[in-house]
Structure 1
Amino acid sequence: MKIKKKDILKYLIITVIFSVSFCFIVKYLGIKKIIPWNIGYSDLGPWSNKAFEKGFPYADKFVEYPVIIGITMHLASRLGGNFYLYFHYIIFLACAIISTIYLYKLSEIMGTNKKYLFIFWALAPSLLWFSFYNWDIIAVMFSILAVYYYKERKDILAAIFLSLGFSTKMYPVLFLFPVLLHRRFKDWIRIGMAFLGTFLAVNAYFMINNFTMWYGIYGFHSQRMPNPDSIWWIIMQFIPSLNVETVNTLTLIIFASGYLIVNFKFRKKGFIFASFMSVFLFLLVNKVFSPQYLLWLLPFFALFGLNMIAFYLMEFLNLAVLFSTLIHIFSFQEFTTALVYSSVFVVLRHIVLAYAFVKKIIPARGAS
């Protein structure tokens, strides 16, 4: 059935509501132990224990996530019981709908094939399985809003949204440099002040009240070991002499070099494409890779497309990593067969990710 152009957004929103609601139901059943925990797992379950603890996040209790996530958890916990989950569902659904509306607007501006919005966004396995897995959908929404308003040259508003995204998950800050390269130097001050001002408005109270605990958000991630979902965890099994400090240094050098090359080499392709490649590169080299991170790429796939075989292979390998890793974790053993399978799936997923990255870079290189 061919959808009329005027109805595309309506059907997109309906599809997204279905996808997020499906994810919520599966995770709700997992949290309530109605289905196996390794199938219905969501970070919202174990983190609810922290949320319901007495005290205020970043002041009385440590939260490893940036401030907007900690405050969201805290507000949800004040409602008590199941309303903790319902509150998150409403927030995540609203974020997904807003993301869809602004992705559609971006696709109109960029002349993107509208079927990409269904294939790579509304019906993407990552949206179906990870929209209620962690808090990433909030950062995704802020990122899409920032990209849209930068595209409309409303730089102050865009910088505010980008800073809100950075105060939710750290990856949106990667968009800042590509944007600055497409603005005059005198605009850098306005954009930088808007970004910094928003960051301080969100974070200043916690920085002043308990700086050590607030800074722990960033200190935690610098000292964090690679997780089994990451290619670096596998590398460390083969090179036991590698420690976290060495991995931090290697990933920083590789990413920083690639980041500068991507942004200067493909400057003529526009800041959206450069931001896309920057996030892609970050996922390829970062020491931590959680399966829900593929959500970060979905908006870009929806705008630029990707070979469908590569996309779904990447998605299903990512799910295979998730399920095998969860089976290992919930066995509470140091070594399991599931961990071996997980490592195989991680390598295969990384190969497909690298292939997809190169396939997007090569045509762009020819056009630059």
Structure 2
Amino acid sequence: MSDLRPEPATTRPPDRWRRYLAGRGTEALVLLNSLIITCYALVWSYYSKAVCGGAPYFPDGRSHVWPVGNPDAAIPCYSDIMFLWVGRDINNHVFPYINGGIDASGHLFGGSVEYPVLSGMMMWLGAIGAHTDTGFFTHTVWLLVPFALAITVLLALLTRWWVLLWAASGPLVFYAFHNWELPVVFTSVAAVAVMAWGASTSPSTGERRMTLRNSAILASILLAIGFCLKLYPGFFVLPLAAYVLTGGGFAAAKGVDASSARRALDWAGAIWVAAAAAITVIVVQLPFMIGGFEGWKAAMTFQGKRRADVDTNSIWHWGFRFIVGRSHMDTYNTLVGILSPLLILSAWCVAMYLGWKVYQRRGAFPWIGVAAAMLAGFMVFHKVNSPQYMLWVLPFFVLLQIRWQVIGVYIVANLVLDMTIFRLFGIMNSGAPMKWWVIGGVNFGVWVQSILLVYLIYAFVHASLREPLASMGLRRKVIEPVDADPSDDAELAPA
């Protein structure tokens, strides 16, 4: 007798889940390889800087071999982390800012450091249990490593194999443990990741995971934390607010005309974004302002008094100084103090203007590109453009489709600068004759970087996002019956 029972229906996961799981193998492969390469770069970076210290030590914990280390090493051993062990009361384990200040000659004392408060706290934490510059350096390395790995993970998820530009191109080896850059870089990358994740599609609902306002508010909080580490991510709140103001490109993708889109500007959302950043900064800064206002203010006073000298790697010292004349240093310092902030503000206005023109043409404000352009303007016109700032701009090379020739030349110029500027310091301190290739390398690095940064103010704004970041702002809004054909067309809705 034949079995007359109906055959069970073939079960398969909903189409939205199959789309969600597609490509996870590639994602895992990218993550694994990029993390392995990042770990290798971090180990290399540690050993290249650790040779600056080591026994024997002076009573204050400073190594006898500092700062020369191995003078024949390919990578200069210098590290700001080890340098600041002495001179900022870090070696005395003084809690930062509260009892500090700055004297008439511009020297900080009593635990004040020239960095924003969260970087100062990182220094204090790294010094706990350390009694030498090498111990302080090692403790700080362990604080910074998680940020480097987190940046790699986020960039891998946002750009797939392009993450290798961050992990394997060299700057991570040179600068991971040069200064406290990794935490601040993490905040800017994390803000982009939050915006992308919020705009991505939830496989269970087919809708975006977070509203545009909520994801932007969370991103602005991250950028504000970055401001309390090294300032520059705070600048990105302005283009982020403009992105929310213009609806994140929703109107353009739905075919709404430009005039209607402008009438529907979300002013309340933009204000919320700016307010969230401002409140975060106040919450972080206020305890230090109340606990020791003079020590807190000393950091800003120090930066305000800082001059564009040989150690700042700027166009001011290596260009404008010769125009004014070496015999008119007071005039030079006064002009730099006026022109530098004016040109930075002008560059920001240009970046926002270019971004608005892109919005009028494409219907979406390119907030990531404008943020990168603002950073480029700040770096080229600020009094200080330290080599390790390469880590600030490198993630934007990963996120945005910049010509590979530009990226390659910029990285080479930066590495040439790093390998020559610290040798220049040694020659100047020793009184030995200057070597032509050292002074030539410094000038090459400074000017090639500066020229490219001016170009990048324009290029960043007009650059497209890399995949899959570019597609995270689009989601499939599908209404399908149980037996729907997954090949059916779906409506693409913007983030």
Q: How does the TM-score come out when normalised to structure 2?
A: 0.67
**343, 351, 357: which is aligned to 1:262?**
351
Q: Percent identity?
A: 23
Structure 2 counterparts to residues 1-368 of structure 1, below 5 A: 4-32=26-54, 33=65, 34-36=69-71, 39-49=76-86, 50=88, 51-60=90-99, 61-81=111-131, 82-107=134-159, 114-118=160-164, 120-151=165-196, 152=198, 153=212, 154-183=215-244, 184-228=266-310, 229-234=313-318, 235-240=320-325, 241=328, 242-267=331-356, 268=359, 269-331=365-427, 332=429, 336-337=434-435, 338-339=438-439, 341-360=441-460
Tell me, in whole angstroms, the C-alpha distance in 2 between the residues paired with 1:128 and 1:137: 12
What one-letter code is carried by the residue in structure 2 that aligns with 1:237? F
For 1:197-256, what per-residue CA distance to the aligned partner results, in whole angstroms no more than 9, with x for missing partners? 322232212111221221122222222111431111122133134433321321222221
Cα distance in 2, alignment partners of residues 227 and 176 from structure 1: 31
Q: Amino acid of the residue matched to residue 286 of structure 1?
A: H
Unaligned runs of at least 5 residues, structure 1: 108-113
Change (3 A) 1:218 1:79: same
| Offset from partner CA, 1:245-291 (integer Å, 9 cap, x none) | 32132122222122122113223252111111111122122221100
Rounded to whole Å, the distance in 1 between the matches of 2:441 and 2:348 is: 32
| Alignment check: 8 A CA contact 1:95 1:138 kept | yes
Q: Is the 8 A contact 1:227 1:289 kept in 2?
A: no
- Deviating beyond 6 angstroms after TM superposition, the runs of 4 or more aligned structure 1 residues are none
Contact 2:113 2:299 in 1 (8 A): yes
How well do the aligned residues superpose, as a CA RMSD in angstroms? 2.4
Between 185-194 and 13-22, the greater mean CA deviation after superposition: 185-194
Q: 2: distance between equivalents of 1:5 and 1:193?
A: 36
Match of 1:31, SS? coil
Return the index of the structure with the highest Cα Rg: 2
Aligned length, in residue pairs: 355
With over 3 angstroms needed to count, the CA separation of the structure-2 counterparts of 1:359 and 1:191, relative to structure 1, is closer
Amino acid at match of 2:434: T
In structure 1, distance between residues paired with 2:355 and 2:374: 11
Q: Distance in 2 between matches of 1:74 and 1:124?
A: 31
**Aligned equivalents of 1:306 and 1:123: distance in 2?**
18
Aligned to 2:102: none
Q: Do 2:374 and 2:457's aligned partners in 1 also have CA atoms closer than 8 Å? A: no
Cα distance, 1:104 vs. partner?
2.6
Aligned twin of 1:111: none
Tell me which residue corresponds to 2:12. Answer: none
- Change beyond 3 A, Cα 1:305–1:90: farther
Q: Residue 181 of structure 1: CA displacement?
A: 0.9
Q: Tell me by how many angstroms 1:306 deviates.
A: 3.0
Q: List runs of 5+ in structure 2 lacking aligned partners.
A: 1-24, 55-64, 100-110, 199-211, 245-265, 360-364, 465-495
Give the match's secondary structure for 1:251.
Answer: helix
Q: Secondary structure at the match of 1:48?
A: coil
Distance change in 2, residues 1:84/1:54 (3 Å): closer
In structure 2, do the counterparts of structure 1 residues 343 and 352 end up closer, same or farther at CA, with 3 Å as the change threshold?
A: same
Q: Is the contact made by 1:317 and 1:349 (CA closer than 8 Å) also made in structure 2?
A: yes
1:54 deviates by 4.5
TM-score (norm 1): 0.88
Residue 340 of structure 1: how far off its partner (Å): 5.5
| Structure 1, 185-194 or 155-164: larger mean CA deviation | 185-194
Q: Which residue type is aligned with residue 296 of structure 2? A: W
| Alignment-mate amino acid for residue 276 of structure 1 | A
Which residue identity is paired with 1:9? Answer: L
Q: Secondary structure at the match of 1:289?
A: coil
Alpha carbons 2:31, 2:156 under 8 Å: kept: yes
CA contact (8 A) 2:130 2:139 kept: no
Question: Structure 2: how far apart are the matches of 1:265 and 1:306?
Answer: 16
Compute the displacement of 1:333 (Å).
5.5
Contact residue 354 and residue 461 of structure 2 kept, 8 A: no
Alpha-carbon contact 2:354-2:458 (below 8 Å) kept: no
